Amino acid sequence: MLMVKPYRAMAFLGLAAIVSACSSTGPGEGLEETAASVAPAQSEWAPGGLEAAYCPKITLRQGTAILDKKNGEELAYSANITGTNRDCRIVDGQLRMKIAVFGRVMPGPAAPGAVTLPIRIAVLRGEDVIYSELGQRQVNAQSGQSAQTFEYVDDRIAFAEPKERNIIIYTGFDEGPPE
């Protein structure tokens, strides 16, 4: 586990709060400009339809907002999720969602060059998983380089319009089960 000095952790959390505040626009605001460059090729996003009266909030799962990787004993990189956004539309009786995840990657002394970030988006109705997708976002992380921003967008989420407000959206880094 990476040990972080208290002043560095405070600075990191302060930066995350500032960036998060800048990224926390309301449903549908700001996604059109950024989604085109990172949207999956097989997109099912339907920007038409009606704006949904209920657009579930996104929650970062505890322990999944920061991903630290080492190369031997040296830090390769540290990635963190700094914000999220969502857009919800009702199209043909279905709630269609576009979820965006924003973050930063700080290369360490043993940075490998390109890194692939595993980002999971899961949608639950109560305890039932109705959507779960593990996506990947590649980011350049050269040693000595400044922090790089990234964004990941999943616009393929669609399910029957909920009758209750019991939908939870989780996101975070997901490397799978511990080895």
Predicted confidence at residue 173, as pLDDT, reads 98
Token pair of 154 as six digits: 């999943």
Residue identified by tokens 């322990």 is 63
Residue 28 scores a pLDDT above 60: no
Helix (H, G, I), strand (E, B), or coil: what is residue 11?
helix
- Helix (H), strand (E) at residue 44: none
Token pair of 151 as six digits: 């964004």
Q: Chain-wide mean pLDDT for the chain?
A: 79
CA distance from start to end of the chain: 14
Burial of 27 per CB tally in 10 Å (0-12, 13-18, 19+): middle
177-to-41, 83, 124 alpha-carbon distances in Å: 28, 24, 20
Predicted confidence at residue 78, as pLDDT, reads 97
Could you tell me which residue, 29 or 80, shows the higher pLDDT? 80
Predicted confidence at residue 32, as pLDDT, reads 31
Please tell me the distance from the alpha carbon of residue 44 to that of residue 38, in angstroms, as a whole number: 14
Do 164 and 55 form a contact (C-beta atoms < 8 A)? no
Please tell me the distance from the alpha carbon of residue 135 to that of residue 173, in angstroms, as a whole number: 10
pTM here is 0.72
Mean pLDDT for 47-56 is 88
179: Cβ contacts below 8 Å, ≥ 6 apart: none
Please tell me the distance from the alpha carbon of residue 80 to that of residue 61, in angstroms, as a whole number: 13
Residue 47 scores a pLDDT above 80: no
Give the pLDDT confidence of 124-178 residue by residue, as tens digits. Answer: 999 999 999 999 999 999 888 899 999 999 999 999 999 999 999 999 999 987 6
User: Percentage of residues in the chain with pLDDT exceeding 70?
Assistant: 73
